[in-house]
Amino acid sequence: MMTNNQNLLKWIEDMKALVKPDQVVWIDGSEEQLEGLRKEAMATGEMIKLNEEKLPGCYLHRSDKNDVARVEDRTFICSKKEEDAGPTNNWMDPQKAYEMLTPIFDGAMKGRTMYVIPYTMGPAGSPFAKVGIELTDSIYVVLSMNIMTRMGKKALEHLGDSNDFVRGLHSKAQLDETKKYICHFPEDNTIWSVNSGYGGNVLLGKKCFALRIASYQGKKEGWMAEHMLILGLENPQGEVKYVAAAFPSACGKTNLAMLIPPQIYKEKGYKVWCVGDDIAWIRPGPDGRLWAMNPENGFFGVAPGTNAKSNFNALESTKKNTIFTNVAYDPKNNTVWWEGLDKNPPEGLLDWQGEPWSPESGKKAAHPNSRFTAPAINCPCISPEFESPNGVPLSAIIFGGRRAKTAPLVYQSFDWAHGVFVGSAMASETTAAAAGAVGVVRRDPMAMLPFCGYNMGDYWQHWLDMGEKVGDKAPKIFNVNWFRLDDEGHFIWPGFGDNMRVLMWILDRCDGKADAVETPIGYEPKPEDINIEGLDITVDTVRDLLSVDVDLWKQEAKGIEEFYAKFGDKLPAALRAQLEGLKARLA
Ligand code: GTP
Ligand code: SPV
Ligand code: MN
């Protein structure tokens, strides 16, 4: 026992009585304890230790073949009133949910160890850090939480005697898909997750706490929890401006967060610093601006497509002390591989399920949602502000999605309220990050569709209120789309590091240094104001990427209207007015 906190001890006793573990182990975060757990996971086959020379401290983990992504249809917001979960969440009455889950958890840890993981989201000691306790029967979870959060004694010290901690209960149970549930009780500060062993479902500090529970807390307490990367862009004079960007899952946050500037900028002395790649907690600072803090301590990044050219910094981050999940395994070298790492899959590769694989099989060697769990401090461009207890001040907020058509490369909202409208109307093609069909366009407001812990209509109102609060100190709001396709289905925009060229226009706009053209959907750059020096595309291609097809946008407005209809009275009047404004400008 590492604490005298009676609230905590009482809750743990209650949970222990429910899941009935053989023993309880408190995680103190010491290297000695972690090393013991790694050895145990190796002995049971839960993890494979990789080549110590090539990938020191790295492990491979395979999750169950039917348990490889978030499961949105089994994820619930259990608020007392259904209306408080809203039309975009699955809802269950909290009482009923506890009753349904109790028999599933009953005795689920018999014959197993229950690990007690105290952790903070945000650096311990920061006034904005919050404490979570996760109870789990998975060593993979313990070792992953060690990378993704600040875990151990320090978290308990931060908590002291307070009752203000998120109560997370996780059991793999039998990995029974028919009894898999990820339930959130925002009014109880509680998360119950059962019958899964996959990242987003079980690393409860991440989406469950830092977005679903935290978004609800933020609404009550006057701050925001967002599915956003945070990056700093340093100019040759050494000034750093910060932007946060919300893109849906597997739509480019990790890549943008740590991009390497194109040669033309690098040689002038521009640098990009990564503060975070997935989650931002945002609040007004003493200067009246919005400040963003990354509550995480590592990256749970998509492996496929990551290579030295597309994302050098992410690849570097995975070279030590990293856990790989569901990537392919090269038994000869005891290393890992995934599609897009290089063009030459090693011979004798085993696929993500551990079966022999060859390129002729027509199957993927790594699962499309295979991931790495890497410590943020490994990242060569990790920001000096990464541990800053107050975060960084935001100059711009960027929304974006994966759209083959319709959305242009970049545009700026007319003002904050219009920016909230743009975010609320975001749509994107679905990806392998969640179970279900891939490539289907769906509305994903602020990239928060699967992660907002309360009624999305109230959430939009909260966005509008936050803008009112900071007034003219609010960050400017933009929208980007790196994913427009040509008629042959190829990406038109080079993307990745070259996205910096778009960031430069965005920051110039924030500084009042760049012109814009007014279109029905917002302000756009003049095509010649996107720097294409060193690229093999022409200004005409940029013009094409920026084109606004009025007919497609009329359809888009119709789609937004249909989506908005779901919210009834909860739709803020200001957003209804924004939609009418868009329709009028398109007419
Ligand atoms: P989550 O971790 O699920 O939240 O995803 P993410 O938003 O961090 O996405 P990530 O950066 O991992 O990118 C997902 C996929 O999109 C990868 O396969 C990338 O290679 C690809 N991608 C990222 N940026 C670009 C880009 O600018 N252009 C193109 N064409 N693909 C990109
Ligand atoms: C996402 O899907 O947005 C992720 C991965 O970042 S998970 O943690 O599974 O949610
Ligand atoms: Mn994410």
pLDDT tens profile 371-390: 999 999 999 999 999 999 99
Location of structure tokens 């001890």: 9
| Cα 471 to ligand 3 centroid, rounded to whole Å | 29
Residue 136 pairs in a beta bridge with: 115
Kindly state if the Cβ of 371 falls inside 6 Å of ligand 1.
no
Of all protein residues, the one whose alpha carbon is nearest to atom 12 of ligand 1 is 302
Which pLDDT value is given to residue 156?
Answer: 97
Is 219's pLDDT higher than 80? yes
Question: Which atom of ligand 1 is closest in space to residue 371's alpha carbon?
Answer: 2
Mean pLDDT of the chain: 97
Choose the residue to mutate in 251, 275, 503, 537 for probing ligand 1, maximizing ligand atoms within 8 Å of C-beta: 251
Is 111's pLDDT higher than 90? yes
Residues annotated catalytic, as ranges: 251
User: For residue 33, what pLDDT band results from cuts at 50, 70 and 90?
Assistant: very high
Kindly state if the Cβ of 481 falls inside 6 Å of ligand 1.
no
Which pLDDT value is given to residue 125?
Answer: 83
Of all protein residues, the one whose alpha carbon is nearest to atom 5 of ligand 2 is 200
Which pLDDT value is given to residue 268?
Answer: 98
| Cα 302 to ligand 2 centroid, rounded to whole Å | 9
The mean pLDDT of 155-183, rounded to a whole number, is 98
* Residue spans of beta strands (DSSP E) within 102-148: 113-121, 130-136
Give percent above pLDDT 90 in the chain: 99
Cα-based angle 295, 301, 302 (whole degrees, multiple of 5): 150
| Cα 286 to ligand 2 centroid, rounded to whole Å | 32
Which pLDDT value is given to residue 177?
Answer: 96
The mean pLDDT of 233-244, rounded to a whole number, is 98
Which pLDDT value is given to residue 357?
Answer: 98
Question: Which atom of ligand 2 is closest in space to residue 203's alpha carbon?
Answer: 8
User: For residue 127, what pLDDT band results from cuts at 50, 70 and 90?
Assistant: confident
Phi/psi of residue 362, nearest 5 degrees: 75, 0
Question: Which atom of ligand 2 is closest in space to residue 201's alpha carbon?
Answer: 9
Kindly state if the Cβ of 529 falls inside 6 Å of ligand 1.
no
Is 286's pLDDT higher than 80? yes
Ligand in closest contact with the CA of 279:
3
Mention every residue, 6+ apart, whose C-beta is less than 8 A from residue 337.
327, 328, 329, 330, 345, 346, 349, 365, 366
Is 424's pLDDT higher than 80? yes
Choose the residue to mutate in 255, 313, 341, 428 for probing ligand 1, maximizing ligand atoms within 8 Å of C-beta: 255
| Cα 53 to ligand 2 centroid, rounded to whole Å | 30
Choose the residue to mutate in 70, 191, 253 for probing ligand 2, maximizing ligand atoms within 8 Å of C-beta: 70
Is 293's pLDDT higher than 80? yes
The mean pLDDT of 145-154, rounded to a whole number, is 97
Q: For 134-145, b where at least 16 C-beta lie within 10 A, e where not — what string?
A: bbbbbbbbbbbb
Coil, strand, or helix at residue 526? coil
Question: Which atom of ligand 1 is closest in space to residue 310's alpha carbon?
Answer: 20
Of all protein residues, the one whose alpha carbon is nearest to atom 21 of ligand 1 is 252
Cα-based angle 551, 556, 560 (whole degrees, multiple of 5): 150
| pTM for the model | 0.98
| Cα 129 to ligand 1 centroid, rounded to whole Å | 28
Q: Give the C-alpha distances (Å, rounded to integers) separating 207 from 4, 184, 301, 391, 399.
A: 29, 11, 13, 20, 19
Is 266's pLDDT higher than 90? yes
Residues with CB under 6 A from ligand 2: 70, 199-200, 206-207, 249, 278, 300, 433
- The answer to whether 167 and 131 have CB atoms below 8 angstroms apart is no
| Cα 249 to ligand 2 centroid, rounded to whole Å | 6
Kindly state if the Cβ of 433 falls inside 6 Å of ligand 1.
yes
- The answer to whether 277 and 231 have CB atoms below 8 angstroms apart is no
- The answer to whether 392 and 242 have CB atoms below 8 angstroms apart is yes
| Neighbouring residues of the ion ligand 3, judged by CB less than 5 Å | 249, 278
Rounded to an integer, what distance in angstroms lies between the CA atom of residue 32 and that of residue 17?
Answer: 29
Is 1's pLDDT higher than 80? no
| Cα 143 to ligand 1 centroid, rounded to whole Å | 25
Question: Which atom of ligand 2 is closest in space to residue 248's alpha carbon?
Answer: 3
| Cα 206 to ligand 3 centroid, rounded to whole Å | 9
- The answer to whether 436 and 72 have CB atoms below 8 angstroms apart is yes
The mean pLDDT of 177-196, rounded to a whole number, is 98
Kindly state if the Cβ of 491 falls inside 6 Å of ligand 1.
yes
Question: Which atom of ligand 2 is closest in space to residue 433's alpha carbon?
Answer: 2
